[in-house]
């Protein structure tokens, strides 16, 4: 089982089964990728915040059978204030959608990743 450490932003989070989420991450090092956060919807889960949309952090991903699983995350910014105003939430969703559309899997996304973070912070 290979382990990867990446800086990423959750651009999409879809509930899966009882306690899991499937995340779409736009990462600085590996472009767009999909990862499963197992058990993240349990109230005591350490991944609860890390599996939320717009969360920016350093994710540790384990790769098994061609799939990624989030094993831990050091959250750097949650961009919580985006959820307080509908127009800010709409703009952030749009920015994440554009970043997700242009990020290619397994390709570095260096300059564009900085633009994504700047757009979310505005």
Please state, in angstroms and rounded to a whole number, the distance separating the CA atoms of residues 77 and 90.
Answer: 18
Q: Is the pTM of this model over 0.85?
A: yes
Show the tokens assigned to 24.
């779409």
- pLDDT (tens digit, 9 = 90+) per residue, 2-42? 899 999 999 999 999 999 999 999 999 999 999 999 999 99
66-92 burial by CB neighbour count: b if 16+ within 10 A, else e? eebebbebeeeebbeebeeeeeebeeb
Q: What is the pLDDT of residues 33-58, one digit of tens each?
A: 999 999 999 999 999 999 999 999 99
Token readout for 65 is: 């059978």
Contacts of 4 (CB under 8 A, 6+ apart): 30, 60, 61, 62, 63, 68
């Amino acid at each position: 089982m290979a382990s990867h450490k990446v800086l990423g932003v959750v651009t999409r989070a879809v509930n899966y089964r009882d306690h899991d989420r499937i995340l779409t991450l736009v990462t600085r090092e590996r472009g767009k990728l999909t990862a499963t956060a197992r058990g993240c919807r349990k109230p005591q889960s350490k991944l609860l915040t890390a599996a939320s949309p717009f969360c920016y952090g350093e994710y540790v991903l384990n790769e098994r059978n061609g799939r990624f699983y989030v094993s831990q995350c050091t959250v750097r910014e949650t961009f919580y204030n985006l959820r307080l105003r509908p127009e800010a939430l709409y703009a952030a969703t749009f920015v994440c959608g554009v970043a997700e559309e242009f990020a290619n899997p397994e390709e570095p996304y260096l300059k564009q990743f900085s633009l994504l973070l700047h757009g979310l912070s505005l």
